[in-house]
Structure 1
Amino acid sequence: MLHYWQAVIIGIIEGLTEFLPVSSTGHMILTQKLLNISEDNQTMKAFEIIIQLGAILAVLLIYWRRVLSLFGLAKIREQGQSLNGSKLNLMHILIGIVPVMLLAFIFNNAIQKYLFSPTTVIIGLVLGGILMIVAEKQKDRPTAETVDQITYRQAFYIGLFQILSLWPGFSRSGSTIAGGLLSGVNRAASANFTFIMAIPVMFAATGYTLLKSYKTLSSNDMGFFIIGFVISFIVALLAVVSFIKFVSSMKLTYFAYYRFILAAVFALYLWLG
């Protein structure tokens, strides 16, 4: 039986980590281990989908004007200049999301079977942290200072790095921001592109998983789901706004150190357990 206090804890963790470069999936897998929730608990799998929707809607609320601009329905003001529609267009988004969505669709069962465990999360945390440190050592001057300066080639390059997020522990935002830095996109622009690109990816992943597991949903769990959804939405909203404010000055290296510490703590926990 799942409890409301578990919904609160997991909702907070999802909201905090979904768009920070620390891996929300990895954190939830480790959290479930701490809470003694079975990895095969179908209600929890459905719950994870519901609270992820809360995080998606938070980002959609923040970037609604940018999203509308992709369809020519709104104008964007970038650095004080009014643009006649954004230079960032749907093609950039498609180029960025097709690789990861294609591989996720083909290898979904294998990923769920072999990569969703505390051990693989620990490995992903470490490898993802190393990637971010390497990306921060990029010395070349960025060629894209804003999302509107990102080229199709850079969008594709970032999309390739997003494939790493299929391994729990790597982190979607961590992988794509690192990919952005390595392809000549500055940190803030990489983060903004990452968050915008995450909207269709997460909607697709959530919708696909929801269709597969909707039979596990029960009206008895509605209160549990609502609490997790609302908390995830609020926390994700605060987390994204805060992250965007200091991402231009805060290096990914600090998040990498956090990942190493978390991996070490859980490795010790699993070893002692």
Structure 2
Amino acid sequence: MSDWLIGLIQGAVEGITEFAPVSSTGHLILVGHLLGFEGDRASTFEIIIQLGSILAVVVVFWKRLWSILGVGRPKGQRSLNLLHVILGMAPAVVLGLILHDLIKEKLFGPYPVLISLVIGGLLLLYADRFARRSRSESLDELTYKQAFIIGLFQCLSLWPGFSRSGSTISGGLLVGASRKTAAEFSFILAVPIMIGASGLDFVQSLDVLQKSDIPLFAVGFVTAFVVAMLVIVGFLKLINRIGLAPFAYYRFALAILFYFLVMF
């Protein structure tokens, strides 16, 4: 299969799945396995296209991100601020730095992803069923305690296939955030978390990069950016209507499908 087609397929997979609670990493690993696109080159490619998805978040939420940094935020008015983001990202950052090599060695493969797809799906069902009555209907109503607990849930996403958005949105529902608020906070947390994680992986992968890979990386990056932009806007509307259960059932179906496609 040609590089540009692989870039298009994997870029679309990344853009569609990065912010839905179905695990983009899990999909990229599984689809890459089916396409025969694996190894160091594929890992570096995944880093590049994840940055495309993050750029989409920056574009969609640029006003909110500026506000978090203090630009244009009314003084004395309660609102989401930098401390919320720090508390939300700190647990996963610390644990990720400690376990980075172990995770890369033991959990990046089809079989661990299949297991995490199922367990993550069970978490989605639990959160959807036992979500606390919403106390935080908007981002500006989130407390520091809620942000930190959501950050603890985000640690689950260090297991590829679990889904960063799935774990954080589930955590948000269980601590009393509305579906829309939980999803928006999940997207905002993705910016520093993914830039940091992707940046670290990118530096460690510099020796793999070659000029001949530029077309592949460019197609994947642009595709992931465009598709992610559309998915973010659509997902925020969709989650309020259907909740998390359909995504959980999709994860179960995907795990069964790939079990027979990949493991046999």
State the alpha-carbon separation in 1 of the partners of residues 6 and 77 from structure 2: 44
Q: Which residue of 2 aligns with 1:192?
A: 184
Q: Which residue of 2 aligns with 1:245?
A: 237
Cα deviation 1:221-247 (Å, max 9, x = unaligned): 111110110000000000101101222
Cα deviation 1:78-119 (Å, max 9, x = unaligned): xxxx89766101000000000001111111010011111111
Are the aligned partners of 2:131 and 2:173 in contact in 1 as well (CA < 8 Å)? no
Matched, 1:127 2:119: yes
Q: 1:37 offset after TM fit, Å?
A: 2.3
Matched, 1:35 2:27: no
- SS across alignment from 1:145: coil
Q: 1:44 offset after TM fit, Å?
A: 1.3
State the alpha-carbon separation in 2 of the partners of residues 85 and 223 from structure 1: 47
Quick one: which amino acid aligns to residue 198 of structure 1?
A
Instruction: Give the CA RMSD over aligned residues.
Output: 1.5
Q: Which residue of 1 aligns with 2:82?
A: 90
Alignment of structure 1 residues 101-140 onto 2, 5 Å: 101-138=93-130, 140=132
Are the aligned partners of 1:72 and 1:85 in contact in 2 as well (CA < 8 Å)? no
Q: 1:74 offset after TM fit, Å?
A: 2.4
- Quick check: which one's helix share is greater? 2
Q: 1:267 offset after TM fit, Å?
A: 1.1
Q: Quickly say closer, same or farther: Cα 1:86–1:207, change in 2 above 3 A.
A: farther
Higher mean alpha-carbon deviation, 184-193 vs 42-51, is at: 42-51
State the alpha-carbon separation in 1 of the partners of residues 222 and 57 from structure 2: 14
Q: Which residue of 2 aligns with 1:25?
A: 25
**Equivalent residue for 2:173, pick from 169, 181, 186:** 181
State the alpha-carbon separation in 2 of the partners of residues 86 and 66 from structure 1: 14
Quick one: which amino acid aligns to residue 46 of structure 2?
E
Q: 1:263 offset after TM fit, Å?
A: 0.2
Identity among equivalent positions (%) equals 46
Quick one: which amino acid aligns to residue 150 of structure 1?
L
**Runs (5+) with no aligned partner, structure 1:** 76-81
- SS across alignment from 1:137: helix
Are the aligned partners of 2:156 and 2:162 in contact in 1 as well (CA < 8 Å)? yes
TM-score by length of 2: 0.96
Q: Which residue of 1 aligns with 2:44?
A: 46
Quick one: which amino acid aligns to residue 193 of structure 2?
V
**Equivalent residue for 1:148, pick from 140, 143, 153:** 140
Query: How many correspondences in the alignment?
Result: 264
Matched, 1:100 2:92: yes
Q: Quickly say closer, same or farther: Cα 1:139–1:266, change in 2 above 3 A.
A: closer
State the alpha-carbon separation in 2 of the partners of residues 219 and 139 from structure 1: 49
Q: Quickly say closer, same or farther: Cα 1:226–1:86, change in 2 above 3 A.
A: farther
Q: 1:33 offset after TM fit, Å?
A: 1.0
Q: Quickly say closer, same or farther: Cα 1:95–1:16, change in 2 above 3 A.
A: same
Q: Quickly say closer, same or farther: Cα 1:2–1:201, change in 2 above 3 A.
A: farther
State the alpha-carbon separation in 1 of the partners of residues 121 and 83 from structure 2: 30
Q: Which residue of 2 aligns with 1:256?
A: 248
TM-score by length of 1: 0.93
**Runs (5+) with no aligned partner, structure 2:** none
Are the aligned partners of 1:136 and 1:253 in contact in 2 as well (CA < 8 Å)? yes
Q: 1:70 offset after TM fit, Å?
A: 1.0
Q: Which residue of 2 aligns with 1:268?
A: 260
Q: 1:139 offset after TM fit, Å?
A: 5.3
